Amino acid sequence: MILAVPPKYSVASVVGFLKGKSAINIARICGKEKNFAGEHFWARGYSVSTVGFELEAIKKYVREQEEADEQGRF
């Protein structure tokens, strides 16, 4: 997902909002009505680039997210 975040919003708050609302929506679609405590849908981290980026580095980061999350490397 590529986003343009206006300067008045912090990147962390926008990412947190998107992760939180989408995880709740996905849980409801899958049959959970309430009490989402302990549920984990998204990995803990995210990547941000303000001026250019290396496409291969980003692809590697995404591929390794699940493994890094399981090992607690954050």
Q: Which residues are catalytic?
A: 61
Q: Give the three-class secondary structure for 60.
A: helix
DSSP class per residue in 5-56: --TTS-HHHHHHHHHHHHHHHHHHHTT--S--TT---S-S-----SS---HH
Count CB-CB contacts under 10 A for residue 40: 9
